[in-house]
Amino acid sequence: MISATSERRVNQTAAQDAKEAGVLVNVTDDPVLCDFVFPAVLKRGSLSVAVSTDGKSPFLAGHLRAILEDIFPEHWNQIAEAAALFREKVRRLHPRAPAKQAACYEKFIRVDWKKLLQDKSGPVLSKIFEDLVQ
């Protein structure tokens, strides 16, 4: 439940009633009364990056989220999708070799994906995956 009135007493009563009913509650701008908080979330497809100040300074979390937009531009969606496909392939090829899997993931991380995604497409990515799983 979310309580967001400008009246502290109303919010306190709502929080108490919710807790007595076994319902989690978030009281806007009153972290002491909250069972949960809402982080500032940046989504790029299947990639989600969240920042939270435990409800104490949401303006700061929002500012940091804006900074993350510059750190994680739109091409990160494509990287996340490629990573999911790559993980499936690695797990299929090396099912009982966690060290080999970790080595493959490390190779994936080291690729200059921004440059690669500007120059390449699906079939070329398949070839790159082949090189990275060795």
User: Across residues 5-30, what is the average pLDDT?
Assistant: 96
pLDDT computed for residue 122 by the predictor:
61
User: Average per-residue pLDDT in the chain?
Assistant: 92
- Rg of the chain over all Cα atoms, to the nearest angstrom: 22
Q: Do both 54 and 10 map to the same domain?
A: no
Q: Do both 25 and 48 map to the same domain?
A: no
pLDDT computed for residue 120 by the predictor:
61
Domain endpoint, select from 72, 89, 119: 72
pLDDT computed for residue 71 by the predictor:
93
Q: Do both 67 and 91 map to the same domain?
A: no
**pLDDT band for position 115 (50/70/90)?**
confident
Which residues span the domain enclosing 54?
Answer: 39-72
Closest CA to 101 of 112, 87, 111, 113: 87
The CATH number given to whatever domain includes residue 63 is 3.30.160
The label of the residue with tokens 């900074």 reads 67
pLDDT computed for residue 127 by the predictor:
78
Q: CA separation (Å) from 26 to 8, 33, 50, 53?
A: 13, 7, 18, 14
- Note the pLDDT tens digit of each residue in 54-72: 999 999 999 999 999 999 9
pLDDT computed for residue 113 by the predictor:
84
Closest CA to 4 of 14, 126, 32, 124: 14
User: Across residues 110-131, what is the average pLDDT?
Assistant: 77
